[in-house]
Amino acid sequence: KNLDIPRDHTIDGSINLLAEGYTYALDRRQKLQSDIFQTRLLGQPAICMGGKEAAELFYDRERFQRGGAIPKRIQKSLFGEKGVQTLDGQAHAHRKQMFMSLMTPDRLQMIQDIVRQQWQSAAIRWQSTVQLELVDEAQEVMCRAACQWAGVPLREQDVKTIANDLASMVDAFGAIGERYKEGRDARQRTEQWVTELVELIRANRVQVAEQTAAHVISWHRDLDGELLDAKVAAVELINIIRPIVAISYYVVFSAHALHVYPETRQKLVESFENGEATYSQWFVQEVRRLYPFTPILGANVRKEFTWKGYHFPEGTTVLLDVYGTTHDPQLWEEPQQFRPERFADWDGSPFDLIPQGGGDHRHDHRCAGEWLTIDVMRVSLEFLAGHIEYEVPEQDLTIDLSRMPALPASRFIMSHARPKT
Ligand code: HEM
């Protein structure tokens, strides 16, 4: 006999999720003392679950599919339509292979070199400013680096608008009203620009190097042997440059952690001086674990099944509590503490440290850019802790977890940024 999935009696989960933000699912899991609960999303029955076993279940390709699971409003702002996120089965495997082919050791080395050099140029620009907001600066650095690495020509006079548009798409994901509209408009402008670029590349009117994302995606052939529709190619190329700009959130969180946990700065500096990457790797992992970014992920039940006595009817929307899994006290000792050292004895499980999704990079929907993100964060951290000095004036550094995506309220103001002597 099937067990009843504990029920959350609020009227509609979507409203609660948007209002409460990152803690929505973990709060309910704790209140109901269950890693799984049922709710309603836009009137339809839905299941929400979190924790390591739930993550493992969520990535079972036999039981779940992504097709039909991503809300239209997210496709119109954050993701775009008909991109890799919406595919299943062989179509997904083939498209994902295209993304993963961009993540070779050579190409990952290249993005690190580009990012390092972009931070150095930024530091030179900063010499004439007393005060700056790290959010804006990091977005600009990442936008320049993303376009350079991906082979997307970027005119100097467009850097700020493009950086802004790419960031607006990310900023829209948990929004309704004006902030959502900004993200949707930003996507329309960006898709138009990048679709034209794809067409110019195909017409040989713009030359791009062979290993770049712009080249690979423009010339990628689908399982039917056809080039991608130019607009879909644009969506996929934006799936490279937009999330590189999103790494700026993690850069700002890294700066926040350096400031709030100053004892970590000295350990980092020592590790950089010894040319030793272990501690900075732990630091980066801990930033990705502790700081909020992806709240939840969604999929639909492909074929009904029973798990731990609970029935999952076909077609049901199932949410995976990503934030709650990286803050789960059953998985992480004192989960609210920033303790990079905890990674000294982490077993590398694909189902507990899941800020960028779980499972396998090649075969599941797990983030194609996770390795790149970690590398870029490490280089950026080395810049912040090792190459410059700055003051952090009095400001409101609180991070409001009900706002998705979250950032420090003050957007991290730094003053007198200067090369380290
Ligand atoms: C997928 C998070 C950076 C490219 C994802 C997913 C998450 C995520 C949660 C979905 C996993 C799933 O559906 O199971 C993040 C975060 C980032 C980041 C928090 C850093 C701030 C990047 C970067 C790139 C990238 C730098 C590319 C250069 C992708 C792609 C997918 C994806 C192409 C779709 C994969 C698929 O559907 O198979 N990311 N990501 N991401 N990410 Fe990232």
User: 92-135: per-residue pLDDT in tens?
Assistant: 999 999 999 999 999 999 999 999 999 999 999 999 999 999 99
The CA 166 to ligand 1 mean position distance, Å, reads: 14
Q: Is 99 in the pocket of ligand 1 (CB under 6 A)?
A: yes
Alpha carbons 166 and 244: distance in angstroms, whole number: 9
Of all protein residues, the one whose alpha carbon is nearest to atom 21 of ligand 1 is 247
Of all protein residues, the one whose alpha carbon is nearest to atom 16 of ligand 1 is 356
Calculate what percentage of the chain has a pLDDT beyond 90: 93
The CA 313 to ligand 1 mean position distance, Å, reads: 28
Return the pLDDT at 11: 77
Q: Is 170 in the pocket of ligand 1 (CB under 6 A)?
A: no
Say how many C-beta atoms besides its own lie within 10 A of residue 202's C-beta: 14
Topology of domain 13-419, CATH: Cytochrome p450 (1.10.630)
Q: Is 251 in the pocket of ligand 1 (CB under 6 A)?
A: no
The CA 420 to ligand 1 mean position distance, Å, reads: 34
Q: Which of 114, 367, 375 to mutate to test the pocket of ligand 1 (most atoms within 8 A of CB)?
A: 367
Among the ranges given (66-80, 184-198, 331-345, 369-383), the one the predictor scored with the smallest mean pLDDT: 66-80
Q: Is 408 in the pocket of ligand 1 (CB under 6 A)?
A: no
Of all protein residues, the one whose alpha carbon is nearest to atom 2 of ligand 1 is 356
| pLDDT classification of 9: cutoffs 50, 70, 90 | confident
Give the atom of ligand 1 at the shortest distance from the alpha carbon of 95. Answer: 38
The CA 206 to ligand 1 mean position distance, Å, reads: 28
**The pLDDT of residue 375 is above 80:** yes
Say how many C-beta atoms besides its own lie within 10 A of residue 294's C-beta: 19
Q: Is 367 in the pocket of ligand 1 (CB under 6 A)?
A: yes
| pLDDT classification of 2: cutoffs 50, 70, 90 | confident
Q: H/E/C letters for each residue in the chain?
A: CCECCCECCCCCHHHHHHHHHHHHHHHHHHHCCCCEEEEEECCEEEEEECCHHHHHHHCCCCCEECCCCCCHHHHHHHHCCCCHHHCCHHHHHHHHHHHHCCCCHHHHHHHHHHHHHHHHHHHHHHCCCCEEEHHHHHHHHHHHHHHHHHCCCCCHHHHHHHHHHHHHHHHCCCCCCHHHHHHHHHHHHHHHHHHHHHHHHHCCCCCCCCCCHHHHHHCCECCCCCECCHHHHHHHHHHHHHHHHHHHHHHHHHHHHHHHCCHHHHHHHHHHHCCCCHHHHHHHHHHHHHCCCCCEEEEEECCCEEECCEEECCCCEEEEEHHHHHCCCCCCCCCCCCCHHHHHHCCCCCCCCCECECCCCCCCCCCCCHHHHHHHHHHHHHHHHHHEEEECCCCCCCECCCCCCCCECCCCEEEEEEECC
The CA 245 to ligand 1 mean position distance, Å, reads: 12
Q: Is 239 in the pocket of ligand 1 (CB under 6 A)?
A: yes
Task: Give Cβ neighbours of residue 70 (< 8 Å, ≥ 6 apart).
Answer: 79, 85, 86, 298
The CA 52 to ligand 1 mean position distance, Å, reads: 19
Question: What confidence tens digit (pLDDT) does each residue in 196-232 have?
Answer: 999 999 999 999 999 999 999 999 999 999 999 999 9
Alpha carbons 172 and 176: distance in angstroms, whole number: 8
Question: What confidence tens digit (pLDDT) does each residue in 269-325 have?
Answer: 999 889 888 999 999 999 999 999 999 999 999 999 999 999 999 999 999 999 999
The CA 1 to ligand 1 mean position distance, Å, reads: 39
